[in-house]
Amino acid sequence: MDTVLGENLNDKTVKKLRIDRLRRLTEAESGEALIETVDINEFSDDEWKVAQFRFECIRPLLDDPFRTRKKAESVAEEAGVHVATLYSWLRAYQNDGHLSSLIPQARGRKEGKTLIDPVLEEIIASAIDEFYLSKQRYTPADVIEEVKVMCRIAGVKPPHANTVRARIKKISEKEVLKRRGRRDKARDLFDPIKGPFPGDDFPLAVVQIDHTQANVIVVDEKTREELGRPWLTLSIDVWSRAILGVYVSMDAPSATAAGICIARSTLPKTEYLANLDVPGEWPMCGKMRAIHVDNAREFRGEMLRKSCQQYDMDLTLRPVKTPHYGAHIERYMGVASRLLHKLPGTTFSKPEDRKGYNSGKEAVMTLHEVEQHLVDFIVNVYHQRIHSSINVTPKRMWELGVLGDDDRPGVGLPDIPADPDRFVLDFLPYETRSVQNYGIQIDCINYYHEVLNRWINSKDPNDDRRKRKFTVRRDPRDISKIFFFDPDIKSYYVIPYRNTSFPPVSIWELREARRKLIEDGVKHVDEDLIFNALIRMKDRVDEAKKKTKLTKLKAHRNERAKKLSKVTSPSEIISVALPKPNDEKFFVQDQEESEDIFSMREEFFSDIRRK
């Protein structure tokens, strides 16, 4: 399932090709340049609305593989544009695969372009929101009159009545019913609760994502100190019941966790499995049509919404009090919980079950090892066994959906983003920071590279009294570098620690070090204090390991001495303690018995010698 046959168009030879290495051929590969990369947060709301409008115009053509010129002309007429313009939008989107490719390259109003003034758009939107989408259920004529009044107050010319009616028509019937006090009717019409899950007609049509806290305590990889219970973020393909991605962290549910899980679900996972040292195949990947999440705050953020829109993935909040919409992922969360319950350090499901069991003291698994254990189970157990709901294995169901069989054609190979690095960046958390003389500071950690020099203390182009803010992204799993977006070059740069001698750490290690410093009474925390604390914590672990080895050796000798003390005759001592002289292990055993462990030379314990 991880390879396909491909024909070389030049010499007609046929070879096996790995699916995760295939990329769509674009016009850029034939000599034309694509639109420059721009971070999606650099676009204004108005520009984003234009892109969304253009996408809705070309959507009927994208969904129809047998589209004709006549249909394109019809769509163009409805959109109010020339058919050549419509084709240019279609070509731009197919080449790039991003919603942002439909944003006009030149910002602002172009000369000769008839666009409604943004003030008018705001007035129309406000009137529709306050009057039409209210329980008073005003008519479109009432809204038009209100727009005229608001325009007179604002001192602008009111739009044509048809413009207001067109904006109202764009609102979905479901939204109109809900906002005008008809939620029950909206649910009855659009939210069926019986029968199979709506829309799960093929792989990646509907994906559910959710979080849960694992019922096992993990320890720090370096200090071996108790960290607590990790959080799991998982995604499941409703069609095949296959797990698409997983993200394990110590952070509570957040947009960051959801974004990383989406990125991992979409991209091939061959390298990810190799890094975890997990055998097997995990072929499930590709852009998702619809992503269903619950109504938690982390799923309602602007970052996650824009990132999904950028790649034409519909982020849908599950309706309140409709648990069937999240049943598939919640059922698997139960499977994962039972799996992790078997690990040392389990917290059990009920407090009374923990009596006599100290979860913290029994914990031995690190965060990495828990992730490795979970992924190994997903790839080599869960995907390989028959699922009771579909009567085949999730892996086989995925293959049937992609490749098809005699009864049903497959949908073909999944659409994988052409630029995986860019895709991951778009789902990483971002912050805005100014560039100072020392570089950029985040969480008391300084980052610097000479590419920042031209932006030091630069002024905001719209307000010279303020410093300019730049988009900066960071991976919480490794904060030794940040990704700085240069607004002029339209590209990201990797910016390392200013002090490159600092070791790579995760955001959780950083927070633990800061917490300990604050507990110790340190009021002003800086990066030197933080990394010195991290080094001290590691040194304590190394010292503890040395003491543990010495303690074990001493205990071993004492135990043997107790055995010898119970023996009455010299012949029995020899028979118990020493092998016969012709035994090949005789000399090693004799040396161990004849020398005092605390008088032995240091080289015998070179593995624990102080560095």
Instruction: Show the beta-strand stretches assigned E in 424-548.
Output: 430-433, 440-442, 445-447, 459-460, 463-467, 470-473, 481-486, 491-496
Radius of gyration, alpha carbons of the chain: 31
The model's confidence at residue 191, banded by pLDDT at 50, 70 and 90, is: low
**Residue labelled with tokens 């999240």:** 326
Range scoring the smallest mean pLDDT among 312-321, 330-339, 491-500: 312-321
Cβ contact 292:316 at 8 Å: yes
Specify the pLDDT at position 90. 87
SS3 content of the chain, % helix, strand, coil (to 5): 45, 15, 40
pLDDT in tens, 197-213: 455 678 999 999 888 88
pLDDT in tens, 279-312: 999 999 999 998 988 766 666 667 788 888 888 8
**Residue labelled with tokens 């672990």:** 541
- CA atoms of 457 and 434, how far apart (whole Å): 7
Q: What's the whole-number mean pLDDT along residues 92-99?
A: 81
Domain 118-190 and domain 206-403 have a common topology: no
Q: What's the whole-number mean pLDDT along residues 519-534?
A: 73
Q: What's the whole-number mean pLDDT along residues 47-56?
A: 87
* Ramachandran bin of 67, using left for φ above 0, alpha for ψ from -120 to 50, beta for the remaining angles: beta
The pTM of the full predicted model, rounded to 2 decimals, is 0.57
- CA atoms of 25 and 6, how far apart (whole Å): 14
Q: What DSSP state is assigned to residue 101?
A: G
CATH match for 206-403 among 3.30.470.20, 3.40.50.1820, 3.40.50.620, 3.30.420.10: 3.30.420.10
Residues 6 or more apart in contact with residue 359 via CB below 8 angstroms: 216, 217, 345, 346, 347, 348
Top-confidence range, 111-115, 150-154, 509-513: 150-154
- CA atoms of 497 and 448, how far apart (whole Å): 6
pLDDT in tens, 335-383: 887 888 788 878 776 666 666 567 777 788 888 899 999 999 999 999 9
**Residue labelled with tokens 């904060």:** 479
Going by their DSSP bridges, the two strands 218-219 and 206-213 should be labelled as: unpaired
- CA atoms of 210 and 455, how far apart (whole Å): 40
Going by their DSSP bridges, the two strands 290-293 and 314-317 should be labelled as: parallel
**Residue labelled with tokens 């279609």:** 90
Q: What's the whole-number mean pLDDT along residues 385-399?
A: 91
Q: What DSSP state is assigned to residue 132?
A: I
Q: Which amino acid is present at 163?
A: T
- CA atoms of 526 and 521, how far apart (whole Å): 14
- CA atoms of 567 and 471, how far apart (whole Å): 76
User: Taking Cα atoms as reference points, which of 206, 194, 205, 381 lies closest to residue 279?
Assistant: 381
Handedness of CA 362, 367, 368, 371 (dihedral sign): positive
- CA atoms of 198 and 566, how far apart (whole Å): 76
Q: Does pLDDT of 588 surpass 50?
A: no
Cβ contact 62:71 at 8 Å: no
Q: Does pLDDT of 454 surpass 50?
A: yes
Helix axis angle for 69-79 and 45-62, nearest 10°, is 150
DSSP 451-472: GGGGGTTPEETTEEEEEPPEEE
Q: Can you tell me whether residue 244 is helix, strand or coil? A: strand
Instruction: Show the beta-strand stretches assigned E in 251-380.
Output: 290-293, 314-317
Q: Which amino acid is present at 125?
A: A
Q: Does pLDDT of 53 surpass 50?
A: yes
Domains of the chain by residue range: 118-190, 206-403, 431-499, 527-608
Q: How far is CA 503 from CA 52, 99, 276, 289, 422, in A?
A: 43, 38, 21, 40, 26
Task: Give φ, ψ of 225 to 5 degrees.
Answer: -80, 155
Specify the pLDDT at position 453. 92
83: tokens are: 């058919």
pLDDT in tens, 113-151: 446 788 888 899 999 988 898 888 889 999 999 999 999
Specify the pLDDT at position 349. 64
Q: Does pLDDT of 420 surpass 50?
A: yes
Q: What is the mean pLDDT of the chain?
A: 77
The DSSP H or E segment spanning 508 is: helix 507-519
Q: What's the whole-number mean pLDDT along residues 406-421?
A: 86
Q: How far is CA 495 from CA 58, 99, 438, 479, 520, in A?
A: 39, 28, 12, 10, 31
Spell out the CATH class of 118-190. Answer: mainly alpha
